[in-house]
Amino acid sequence: MFERPRSGERAVLVQLDLDQGMLADRIEELRLLVGSAGASVEAVVTGRRSRPDPALFAGRGKVDEIAMTLKAHEGDLVVFNHALSPGQQRNLERELQCRVIDRTALILDIFAQRARSHEGKLQVELAQLDHLSTRLVRGWAHLERQKGGIGLRGPGEKQLETDRRLLGARVKALKTRLAKIEKQRRVQRRGRDRREVLTVSLVGYTNAGKSTLFNALTKAGSYAADQLFATLDTTSRRLYVGPVGTVVLSDTVGFIRDLPHALVAAFHATLEETANADLLLHVVDSASEEREAQIDAVNEVLREIGAGDVPQIMVYNKIDLSGAPAAANRDECGTISGVFLSATSGEGLSLLRDALAETAQRVCVRNEVPDATV
């Protein structure tokens, strides 16, 4: 096993062009992710392939280039902005003689650092164990029996099976505890449904400004920072929106393109809050050149968690950076479908409040209409 240095790690990034498009943006996003994890970016290695190499993902020549770059910059970590198989990861570590992690492991590491609540920590641990389950052999490479020899026969396989058994027991315990939390959430939702309280969830690409907007609306004081995945734990507050009363507004984890499936599965209880909301405020960084691609990435995750059909109001945040004026757009039915605002300066916040009041009023009127069925 390769040990993690005590000081900040020096990372070499690898991004291959596999015809996904937006290569420069993917590299910049990887830089931000690595910085959020606490490592410094020393160099970036790029290349183009029609498909990944089965053994090394990047191919022999590119791996040699990565090795030279690693040596030149005295790096101690290689980060692939791709999903690596356990075999590819082991082969790369053997060739490069350093730790190699993929995009999934990187995001899991950031989540592990950010989790604050008991539920959040349980969810992150479950996702990490799911990712680790196929990579257990890495910890017992010195006990592998492939080569045979004195002292190498027997214990390796037994220890590996023991580890798998212990890991399986821990996964089962985590799922049981999270199922209990999920049951509690369902009870809370039923209570809100009986009171006919409109539930609204903030969703959006990571670092779009959701927590800043949440604080501006509710004065909650939730943690907000200019970094990826600053918020992991769902926070809910009541928000007064005028004569119709209050709504329940929830701040949720940000999404990202190619979000690891292990995280989606582990955060099921949290993400279910989004799927069961009456309305989604889809927060967009209007100053980002990749806002359309980010909107598509968020909608893809929403479909994956069963929230694709939940009504949305697009909230184009950061107009203080984009230069756009505060405004509210309406669709062909006269319903507010988009709001341009700045959560930092407060410009346009009143328009969003008006939109929430209108939506709450429609829900209230709909609930008051008597059932005409016999």
Answer yes or no: are the C-beta atoms of 27 and 44 closer than 8 Å: yes
Integer Cα distance of 94 and 122 in angstroms: 32
Residue 344 annotated in ligand binding: yes
Residue 252 annotated in ligand binding: yes
Give whole-number Cα distances, 108 to 125, 159, 163, 230, in Å. 9, 26, 21, 13
Q: State which amino acid sits at residue 352.
A: L
Residue 121 annotated in ligand binding: no
Token readout for 241 is 């929106």
Q: What secondary structure, in 3-state letters, does 266-277 show?
A: HCHHHHHHHHCC
Residue 46 annotated in ligand binding: no
Residue 91 annotated in ligand binding: no
Residue 253 annotated in ligand binding: yes
Token readout for 151 is 């002292």
Residue 168 annotated in ligand binding: no
Residue 232 annotated in ligand binding: yes
Residue 229 annotated in ligand binding: yes
β-pairing, 77-80 vs 99-101, is parallel
Residue 147 annotated in ligand binding: no
Residue 212 annotated in ligand binding: no
Residue 8 annotated in ligand binding: no
Residue 133 annotated in ligand binding: no
Token readout for 77 is 């970590």
Integer Cα distance of 206 and 285 in angstroms: 9
Residue 206 annotated in ligand binding: yes
Residue 209 annotated in ligand binding: yes
Residue 204 annotated in ligand binding: yes
Residue 231 annotated in ligand binding: yes
Segment holding 86, helix H or strand E: helix 86-96
Residue 270 annotated in ligand binding: no
Residue 207 annotated in ligand binding: yes
Beta strands in 103-245 (DSSP E): 198-204, 235-240
- Reference 49, options 92, 20, 27; nearest CA is 20
Residue 12 annotated in ligand binding: no
| Binding-site residue set for GTP | 204-211, 229-233, 251-254, 317-320, 342-344
Residues of the binding site? 204-211, 229-233, 251-254, 317-320, 342-344
| Annotation: binding site for Mg(2+) | 211, 231
